[in-house]
Chains A and B, each alone.
Chain A
Amino acid sequence: GQQLNQSPQSMFIQEGEDVSMNCTSSSIFNTWLWYKQDPGEGPVLLIALYKAGELTSNGRLTAQFGITRKDSFLNISASIPSDVGIYFCAGQLYSGAGSYQLTFGKGTKLSVIP
């Protein structure tokens, strides 16, 4: 099946620093999604990308859908303590007739040092 390689696995940064994480796949996707998961909660959608090459921002978050449709990155600018959590990339493949497959990466655990 499809697999996503998400990196880095974890990172420790100082408050105020910028963060970058990415996802690559051997398969193409129709949609790339970035979710954040806090402890004891389900994943919450941050950004959705629908077109190859698309660059989308949501506040301090910026994400891009790679031109090859096989990769995506997420940047967080000026990190704050509440950015702590696990960030998951997910690739969605629409295979027609209402059939969608969502494949998740293993996550990037972000720790922010005040």
Chain B
Amino acid sequence: EAGVVQSPRYKIIEKKQPVAFWCNPISGHNTLYWYRQNLGQGPELLIRYENEEAVDDSQLPKDRFSAERLKGVDSTLKIQPAELGDSAVYLCASSPGTGAINIQYFGAGTRLSVL
């Protein structure tokens, strides 16, 4: 069974440019998460989806970040415009989303460098 798939793996852009990341979760997983991981840190949640609904976006910088999960499967995360401080690894994770035992499985991430 395929795991969480993310693309692109790497992205280099100049500041003020837009950028988008794509995530395909594990089949059947209702819950999808976007995390940002800065160098030397653990992942930090940006947004969580239950099916197509964003149920926790309190940590998403909404002035420049947006996300969508149309049809409750794939998701995209967009930054417009990008700033130097946005350089990080953006991780997508998915989980079954039911019950008290709800393990998250991560994709390989997209490493963003903003110049």
The chain A residues found within 8 Å of chain B, CB to CB, are 4, 30-31, 33, 35, 40-45, 48, 50, 88, 90, 92, 94, 98-102, 104-107
Asked if residues B105 and A104 are in contact (CB atoms below 8 Å), the reply is no
Q: How distant is A22 from chain B, measured CB to nearest CB, in Å?
A: 15
Please tell me if the beta carbons of B42 and A41 are within 8 angstroms of each other in the complex: no
Task: Establish whether residues A106 and B98, one from each chain, have CB atoms under 8 Å apart when the complex forms.
Answer: no
Chain A contact residues: helix, strand, loop or mixed? strand
Known: A40-B108, A42-B4, A42-B107. A92 touches B44 (CB 8 A): no
A50 cross-chain contacts in B, Cβ below 8 A: 101
C-alpha gap A107/B89 in the complex (Å): 15
Interface centre among B45, B102, B105 (most CB of A within 10 A): B102
Q: Which of B55, B100, B108 contacts A42 (CB 8 A)?
A: B108
Chain B interface, number of residues (Cβ within 8 angstroms) = 30
Interface string of B90-115 (1 = CB under 8 A from A): 01010101101111111111010000
Contacts of A43 in B (CB 8 A): 43, 91, 106
B57 to A: closest C-beta gap in Å: 13
- Complex: chain A residue closest to B43, CB-CB: A104
The answer to whether B91 and A98 touch across the interface, beta carbons within 8 angstroms, is: no
What is the chain A residue whose CB lies nearest that of B30? Answer: A98
B50 contacts partner chain A, Cβ-Cβ < 8 Å: yes
**Is B40 a contact of A106 with CB atoms below 8 Å?**
yes
Nearest CB of chain A from residue B67's CB, rounded to whole Å: 18
How far, in angstroms, from A40 to B97 measured CA to CA in the complex?
Answer: 27
CA distance A31 to B33 in the complex (A): 18
| Residue in B closest to A1 when the chains form the complex, CB atoms | B59
**Known contacts A98-B55, A106-B40; 10 further A-B pairs (Cβ under 8 A):** A42-B4, A42-B6, A43-B106, A45-B103, A48-B103, A50-B101, A92-B102, A100-B95, A105-B42, A107-B41
